[in-house]
């Protein structure tokens, strides 16, 4: 059987798709393009209305190109609206997030797969059949936690992912050992609410204790910490990143808004000032770190003054990139009933302005790196490489994929391999 996996949304979805691929390959399936596959797994996102729409469009496009394909849906959109997505073309099964880790076993008889005993625990663990380069991936994304118990007023994810659930520390470290043995040189550690890692285990495990283990790892591997809520990015974690070559100097810290009034309406547990102090502290400790953020434009009640407050905060912060999300109502969230709503045209214009600011930030950071010699991991066709501080550079000499190289940055997007 030929399969394809189409993934929308966050790094957690990416990690879970990798585990699904592991199970499919262990069952004897072979990877293919969606238009040629017998089975397509679509791992959906539902963080915005646009994410829902993107999944629907992809499913219809796949069915038009491949009329006999069997489509299985999972992820947050599939969990939130199973009847709606179940009626899309060629969909034969909808698997909720709660059952996602057992997806391959659940669908096997339905789609004609023969399941096989496979490496890993079946709970999102790293598998053995996916070496670096399979499916176009060089770095491995490893999920250590899922679920969220924060209640941001705009976010549907707690209802689609459930309560926070962490993988035991020993299991995570075992996965890291297996991934390194399989040839991975970079791993991204991710979770839905990564900062809550370990709290539910009751044995003293925390994200900090996990990061300590990674900081002391003996193999020549780089660990990238995925998105962290500002209140979870502690001085100790910053210090570990600053002191260990095993930890990438890369922080993704969602701000969401620069107005304290709107942060309170969003139920974000920090102020714009506290966020600014955190970013400035990181920049002092790690002058060349990549620091990115997420912001929402057009949240209900966002006035011109609120928007200007956000733009003012962003302009003063030493960030390196922005992810900009236009607000859209998520039925079932408190924000969906908040008034007044911001006009859609105004939301798009505010988004355009903030994205333009983000582009200037990125250009400024890239230009600040020109002349530096950095270590990077080759990706894609071997003529591109990604540095620890998250610069993707085109090399002047092609190398093998998944190889450490020292490079001298010569332009915002190019480097000389030394």
Binning pLDDT at 50, 70 and 90, where does residue 123 land? low
Please state the domain extents for the chain.
2-111, 131-248, 251-368, 373-417
Q: Name the nearest CA neighbour of 262 among 157, 345, 332, 335.
A: 335
Spelled out in words, what is the top-level CATH class assigned to the domain 2-111?
Answer: alpha beta
Q: Tokens standing for 411? A: 């332009």
Contacts of 257 (CB under 8 A, 6+ apart): 263, 266, 268, 272, 295, 296, 299, 302, 306, 310
The closest alpha carbon to 146, from 117, 115, 125, belongs to 125
Q: Is the peptide bond before 340 cis (omega within 30 degrees of 0)?
A: yes
Distance CA 359, CA 354 (A): 9
| pLDDT given at position 124 | 53
Q: How many CB atoms lie within 10 A of CB 367?
A: 11
User: Does this chain's domain 2-111 share its CATH topology with 251-368?
Assistant: no
DSSP 8-state class, residue 27: T
pLDDT score for 134: 67
The alpha carbon of 25 is separated from its chain's Cα centroid by a whole number of angstroms, namely 23
Question: Which pLDDT value is given to residue 127?
Answer: 52
Using the predicted structure, report yes or no on whether residue 37 has a pLDDT greater than 60: yes
- Name residue 109's beta-bridge partners: none
Q: Does pLDDT of 386 surpass 50? A: yes
Q: What is the mean pLDDT of residues 42-71?
A: 96
Q: Write the DSSP symbol of residue 166.
A: E
Q: Which residue has the tokens 């610069």?
A: 391
Q: How many residues make up the chain in this entry? A: 418
- Which pLDDT score is estimated for 118? 40
DSSP state, 337? G
256 pairs with which residues across the strands? 295
Instruction: Give the whole-angstrom CA distance, residue 369 versus residue 412.
Output: 8
Does the pLDDT at position 274 exceed 80? Answer: yes
What is the secondary structure of 102-147 as a DSSP string?
GHHHHHHHHHT------SS-SSS---SS--TTGGG-SSEEEEEEE-
Residue 342 is given by DSSP the state P
Residue-level pLDDT at 113? 77
pLDDT at 125: 54
What's the pLDDT score for residue 213?
98
Is the CB of residue 216 less than 8 Å from the CB of residue 244? yes
Pairing of strands 70-75, 39-44: parallel
Average pLDDT, the chain: 94
CA distance 184 to 377: 11
pLDDT computed for residue 111 by the predictor: 81
Q: Which of 12-21, 197-206, 337-346 is predicted least confidently?
A: 12-21
Instruction: Kindly indicate whether the domain formed by 131-248 is annotated with CATH number 3.10.20.440.
Output: no
Q: Which of 321, 374, 385 is nearest to 138 (CA)?
A: 385
> What is the separation of C-alpha 49 from the centre of its chain, rounded to a whole number of angstroms?
18
Question: Tokens 């040189």 appear where?
Answer: 185
Paired strand residues for 325? 296
Taking the alpha carbons at both ends of the chain, their separation in whole angstroms is 44
E runs forming strands in 19-120: 30-31, 39-44, 70-75, 91-94
Q: Determine the pLDDT at residue 120.
A: 39
Whether the pLDDT of residue 290 is over 90: the answer is: yes
Residue 101 predicted with pLDDT over 50: yes
Tell me how far the alpha carbon of residue 56 is from its chain's centroid.
21
The average pLDDT across 240-260 equals 98
**Residue 45 reports pLDDT greater than 90:** yes
Q: What percent of the chain has pLDDT over 70?
A: 95
What three-state secondary structure class fits 80? Answer: helix
What's residue 117's pLDDT?
A: 40
Domain 251-368 has CATH 1.10.3720.10: no
116, pLDDT greater than 60: no
Task: Name the band, by pLDDT with cuts 50, 70 and 90, for residue 74.
Answer: very high
Which three-class secondary structure state does DSSP give residue 93?
strand
Pairing of strands 414-417, 404-411: antiparallel
User: What whole-number distance in Å separates Cα of residue 62 and Cα of residue 58?
Assistant: 6
Q: pLDDT by residue (tens digit) across 276-285?
A: 999 999 999 9
Count of H helices and E strands in the chain? 13, 17
Question: How confident is the model over 133-158, as pLDDT tens digits?
Answer: 766 679 999 999 999 999 999 999 99
Residue 166: predicted pLDDT: 98
Can you give the pLDDT at residue 160?
A: 95
Mean pLDDT confidence for 34-47: 96
pLDDT at 119: 36
Find the mean pLDDT for residues 61-69.
97
H or E stretch at 222: strand 222-225
């Amino acid at each position: 059987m030929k399969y394809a996996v189409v993934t929308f949304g966050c790094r957690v979805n990416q990690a879970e798709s990798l585990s699904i691929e592991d199970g499919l390959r262990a069952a004897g399936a072979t990877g293919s393009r969606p238009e040629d596959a017998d089975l397509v797994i679509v791992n959906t996102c539902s963080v915005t209305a646009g994410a829902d729409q993107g999944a629907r469009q992809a499913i219809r496009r796949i069915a038009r190109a491949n009329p006999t394909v069997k489509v299985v849906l999972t992820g947050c959109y599939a969990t939130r609206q199973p009847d709606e997505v179940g009626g899309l073309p060629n969909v034969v099964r909808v698997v909720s997030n709660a059952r996602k880790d057992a997806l391959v076993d659940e669908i096997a008889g339905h789609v004609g797969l023969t399941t096989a005993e496979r490496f890993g625990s079946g709970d999102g663990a790293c598998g053995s059949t996916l070496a670096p380069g399979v499916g176009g991936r060089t770095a491995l994304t490893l999920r250590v936690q899922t679920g969220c118990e924060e209640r941001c007023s705009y976010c549907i994810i707690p209802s689609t992912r459930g309560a926070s659930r962490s993988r035991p520390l020993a299991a995570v470290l075992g996965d890291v050992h297996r991934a390194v043995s399989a040839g991975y040189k970079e791993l991204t550690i991710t979770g839905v609410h990564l900062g809550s890692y370990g709290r539910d285990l009751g044995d003293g495990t925390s994200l900090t204790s996990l990061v300590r283990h990674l900081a002391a790892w003996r193999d020549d591997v780089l660990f990238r910490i995925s998105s962290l809520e500002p209140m979870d990015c502690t001085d100790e974690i910053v210090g570990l990143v600053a002191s260990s070559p095993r930890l990438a100097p890369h922080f993704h810290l969602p701000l969401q808004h620069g107005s304290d009034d709107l942060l309170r309406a969003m139920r974000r547990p920090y102020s714009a000032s506290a966020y600014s102090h955190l970013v400035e502290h990181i920049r002092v400790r790690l002058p060349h770190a990549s620091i990115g953020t997420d912001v929402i434009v057009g949240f209900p009640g966002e006035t011109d003054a609120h928007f200007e407050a956000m733009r003012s905060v962003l302009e003063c912060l030493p960030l390196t990139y922005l992810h900009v999300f236009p607000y859209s109502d998520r039925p079932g969230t408190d924000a969906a009933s908040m008034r007044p709503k911001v006009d859609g045209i105004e939301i798009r214009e505010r988004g355009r302005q903030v994205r333009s600011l983000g582009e200037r930030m990125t250009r400024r950071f890239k230009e600040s790196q020109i002349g530096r010699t950095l270590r990077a991991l080759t990706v894609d066709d071997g003529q591109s490489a990604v540095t620890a501080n998250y610069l993707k550079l085109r090399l002047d000499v092609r190398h093998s994929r998944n190889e450490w190289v020292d490079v001298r940055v010569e332009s915002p997007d190019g480097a000389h391999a030394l």
